[in-house]
Amino acid sequence: MIRSDCVTVRGIVTDARYALDGDAIVYVRLDPEYAHFANQSNYEELGRDMMELEIVCRHPVFRFFVSRCWTCGNKMRVPRAGDHIEADGVYVQDTRHRHMELHPVTRIALLQDVRAPSAPAPE
């Protein structure tokens, strides 16, 4: 059920995996100022201040077996655990699990890359 056509959230990626339907599933611990986007079902199923983000048709192999993905051509980067990201997407309540999520994600910006070396602290 759609709650808003476009919402922006920020947080730290805790896990990213692929589903057989061709989507990439990204789990994010929301930054405190975005925690209100999670509901009680998010807390119970995913953990405190957690949200699921779905990047459609992003699986490197299975997307070729899912007919809805044949014309999609999604090249959005899937972040890694530890990355600090900002994401936009359609804010929905999953009708089966009742938790809130972004599905589909329309943009992901990397705020801090876990693979990049940290900048030295100013003296």
pLDDT tens, 93-120? 998 889 999 999 999 999 988 776 655 5
Write out pLDDT tens, residues 28-74: 999 999 999 999 999 999 999 999 999 998 876 666 677 777 777 67
What CATH homologous superfamily does 2-112 map to? Nucleic acid-binding proteins (2.40.50.140)
Q: Could you state, in order of their start, the residue ranges of all structural domains in the chain?
A: 2-112
Tell me: cis bond preceding 104? Omega within 30 of 0 counts. Answer: yes
Rounded distance between C-alpha atoms, residue 13 and residue 81, angstroms: 5
Q: For the whole model, what pTM was predicted? A: 0.85
